[in-house]
Amino acid sequence: QVQLVESGGGLVQAGGSLRLSCAASGRTGSMYGMAWFRQAPGKEREFVAVISRSGYTYAADSVKGRFTISRDNAKNTVYLQMNSLKPEDTAVYYCAASSSYSTAQRVREYDYWGQGTQVTVSS
């Protein structure tokens, strides 16, 4: 199995930046795509960005140009650099890994999940 641990969440003012990290351990060779999802109060968990093992990335339209996902395979770590943060970015951010897909965007296509880290953006 794979264990994922997120870190880096916190409180930031609108327009500010935050960098999230997700450290993976266990059978990391089973991981293909790694992604970030987020869930705001009263909302469904939504896709944010994904990166394949080879470095291909795709981000949701709502964060394109502001968020950047990256991956360090040697460290088994994925990052999410968040710039120009908006209050609507406020959510619990979850790291996820898929053992079957490289660039999936659906919750059900991910096998492993972190515990989540809170990101709060004040106006």
Is the distance from CB of 29 to CB of 47 less than 8 angstroms? no
For residues 35 and 22, the answer to whether their CB atoms sit within 8 Å is no
pLDDT digits over 58-70, tens only? 999 999 999 999 9
pLDDT, tens digit, for every residue of 25-53?
999 988 899 999 999 999 999 999 999 99
pLDDT at position 85 is 98
Task: Give the per-residue pLDDT at 73.
Answer: 85
Q: What is the pLDDT of residue 123?
A: 93
Q: What local confidence, expressed as pLDDT, does residue 109 receive?
A: 97
Cα angle: 79, vertex 56, 81; to 5 degrees: 25
Q: Is the pLDDT of residue 79 over 90?
A: yes
